Structure 1
């Protein structure tokens, strides 16, 4: 019985908090659980490396891997505003590839846009490795 009442109270609070805050926050940030990743965050690098392995295996098919991240910096930061509700970081750097070449990389981190609004979303483009121009000519959409 006590367990049922406690569960009811927790669920009621989970529903009420976003409503009290005007419904303008993602579920994770409503409770202060979310930290916006920096350009040089290891979690961002892991995400990019993992997604690149999948893209190389299924699309590029050149047996490449990212070995290291170099000279990474934030090019631009767009805070969340009333008009644009998603904070974004635009990052640039270089990646050392398993074939010995170093290539430019551009990536975008979107706060709170991970699965179900938890965590960040990362979109990236490596110079010369976007054969279908998913990110436009010369990776323009993530620059």
Structure 2
């Protein structure tokens, strides 16, 4: 009797699951669809480059504010150089587009530090606009992107 119940439950679950399209096998079989096609709002498909002035100014401003507010530090970025892209959509087409970048940042203490950042399409507040995540090697006070800001890269 116990075996019969198990067999009925197993057969029911298998027949129910056969009509659904989830699981590892079904996910691998579906066609890849770029994440932009999931958005309901218009999308022009253009992401800013690593050398985008607005992105760099946002990083400089937010870093200066956080250093002053949380650490009572006067550190500010004064200049960017050696800006280059290290990856684009490295997570695959199914994920929200991300551009990974690195640069040298000169600070007001006359030191140069490595800046790693990524630009996220539709990563702004409530999915509007782009978002930016960044980390300065040696200034990751809470080790959010440890080790040495590697988690901010591709």
Question: Is 1:126 aligned to 2:136, yes or no?
Answer: yes
Name the SS of the counterpart of 2:75 in structure 1: coil
Structure having the higher Rg: 2
Match of 1:102 among 112, 116, 122: 112
2:22 corresponds in structure 1 to none
> For the residues of structure 2 that align with 1:28 and 1:116, how far apart are their CA atoms?
15
Segments of 4+ moved more than 3 angstroms: none
1:90 corresponds in structure 2 to 100
Does the 8 Å CA contact 1:87/1:110 hold for their aligned counterparts? Answer: yes
Match of 1:69 among 80, 83, 99: 80
Does the 8 Å CA contact 1:111/1:119 hold for their aligned counterparts? Answer: yes
> For the residues of structure 1 that align with 2:62 and 2:106, how far apart are their CA atoms?
16
Residues 24 and 134 (structure 1), Cα distance of their counterparts in 2 relative to 1, 3 Å cut: same
- TM-score, normalised via structure 2 length: 0.69
- TM-score, normalised via structure 1 length: 0.74
2:126 corresponds in structure 1 to 116
CA RMSD, Structure 1 to Structure 2 (Å): 2.0
**Unaligned residue ranges in structure 2 (runs of 5+):** 1-36
> For the residues of structure 2 that align with 1:126 and 1:116, how far apart are their CA atoms?
26
Question: Is 1:51 aligned to 2:42, yes or no?
Answer: no
Match of 1:81 among 93, 102, 122: 93
